[in-house]
A and B are shown apart, each in its own frame.
Chain A
Amino acid sequence: MAIGDIRQRPGVVLGAAILLHVILISAQVNTASGLPVLQVVTFGSFSEVQRGTMAIIDGVRGMWSGYVALQQVQQENNALKQELQTLQVKLQQERAEAQRTDNLRQLLELRERANLDTVAAEVIAGAASVDFKTVTIDKGSSDSLDTDMAVISPAGVVGRIILPSRRASKVQLLIDRNAAAGALIERTRVQGVVVGIGDGMLRMQYVPGTADVKTGDLVVTSGIDGIYPKGFVIGTIDHADRGAGAYHEIVIRPAVDFSRLEEVLIVRTPPASRTVTEEPAK
């Protein structure tokens, strides 16, 4: 069948495409464990494309600020204005540098306080689809990173590694619908499970209706999931309702601003040998 004939039969092509996707989905759902090879290969290669894209964007930005903008200033032929603009740019660079230094200092303090084997990484890309809450970091298996390693920031828990490649890793954020963490309310030590809702907030489940829960209570990791070290801040209780069932309905506002993640720490200490710290990180 020639390509021209195929174009005359859109129904056939649609049927074939749907069948292909259904077979593809079924094959994966039935698989018991392990990561699909397609994901690893595609992610590994595309992380290089993402790295290249960011390099091109940086290059264009550099060309713009270093050549085109200066040329425009030259055309204006106004030395005073030029000097003022240069100073303003320099001031912004200094501010950005100071902000970055502050971020790194906070990371360093967190690393010392946590007493865990950690490695710092930079966020290089966001999620490929709005339905998933993930980020890509610039460290991978070559830095001894592995699946299910916890990712934290000075503000609190960020998520866990779900797909490491050689030079980059995909991190599932705690706000993703599939994310979960063992948690406890710091004030009353009541335990539960925190899960992502997908809209930027978190829900704490399995907290008995008889438990003492108040808006503003701090929620920290309990460490029972074997992924997140104990005592790290998850967020604060935004509102709690005594639902119709046996459990409270608790919504948590995350401590981390996931839209502004730049640098993070990955905990490389294996879960079994993590030391128990009672005091929260923040």
Chain B
Amino acid sequence: MRSAAAFAAILIAIAVQTTLASYLFRGSSTGIDLVLIVVVYVAIKSGPVTGLLAGSVAGLIQDALSGGIVGILGLAKTLVGFLSGLLGTQFIVTAPLPRFVLLIVATALHEGVFIGVNTMLNLRHFPAPYPSIVGQAVGNAFVGVVAFQMIEWFPGFVDRRRAGRFLKR
């Protein structure tokens, strides 16, 4: 995946997260992190270095827009990008089930780092974070797997249609 395309995907994810996500996922108390899903996808497609750079950029933009300490989401997404890229190069993660598991691990890591750094620096308190993390992990995994399948299915679908039309002639 080219860097420009990855950067554009991150910007679109952030724009959608801040504008459309509240409409798309209305009723979900935990929320879906579309930016995290994009970072995981970029990482498994492009490897750990591009993954960590994509995570770093995406996290820093989210930090700057969120009003919190700049760098915490950046750090969390950097680690997620690196880990996802590493697992993407070491294992076959093309089927939905491994991707589902990967997204759950990625969300758990992300929230673990976010909550850990906030708690360590005494910035925010998380009295009972586990139900929220589990809900978010399952939500991200489900939306992510569906999105990944659609992204990879669409170009093939278009090609098949073109080929079908050509054969009919």
A199 to chain B minimum Cβ distance, whole angstroms, is 6
B35 to chain A minimum Cβ distance, whole angstroms, is 8
Chain B residue with Cβ nearest A9? B49
Q: Once the chains bind, are B71 and A129 in contact (CB under 8 Å)?
A: no
Dominant secondary structure at the B interface:
helix
A74 within 8 A of B: no
Q: Given A49-B15, A198-B132, decide whether A25 and B72 contact each other with a Cβ distance below 8 A.
A: yes
Question: Which stretch, B62-70, B97-105, B142-150, B153-161, touches the partner chain A?
Answer: B62-70
B127 within 8 A of A: yes
Chain B residue with Cβ nearest A124? B19
Interface residues on chain B, number (Cβ under 8 Å): 54
Instruction: Determine which of A17, A57, A126, A198 lies in contact with B78 in the assembled complex, contact meaning CB atoms within 8 Å.
Output: A17
Q: Which residues of B contact A124 (CB under 8 A)?
A: 19
Interface residues on chain A, number (Cβ under 8 Å): 47
B52 within 8 A of A: yes
Q: Once the chains bind, are B70 and A17 in contact (CB under 8 Å)?
A: no
Q: Which residues of A contact B56 (CB under 8 A)?
A: 17, 20-21
Instruction: Determine which of A13, A20, A125, A197 lies in contact with B18 in the assembled complex, contact meaning CB atoms within 8 Å.
Output: A125
Q: Once the chains bind, are B33 and A57 in contact (CB under 8 Å)?
A: no
**Docked complex Cα distance between A172 and B111 (Å):** 21
**Docked complex Cα distance between A131 and B107 (Å):** 12
- Other contacts beyond A29-B121, A42-B64: 6, CB < 8 A: A13-B52, A24-B74, A28-B70, A38-B70, A127-B66, A199-B132
Which A residues are within 8 Å of any B CB, using their own CB?
6-7, 10, 13-14, 17-18, 20-22, 24-25, 28-29, 36, 38-39, 42-43, 46, 49-50, 53-54, 57, 124-132, 134, 136, 162-163, 170, 172, 177-178, 197-200, 259
Which B residues are within 8 Å of any A CB, using their own CB?
11, 14-22, 26-27, 29-33, 35, 47-49, 52-53, 56, 61-62, 64-75, 78-79, 82, 85-86, 111, 114, 117, 121, 123-127, 132, 136
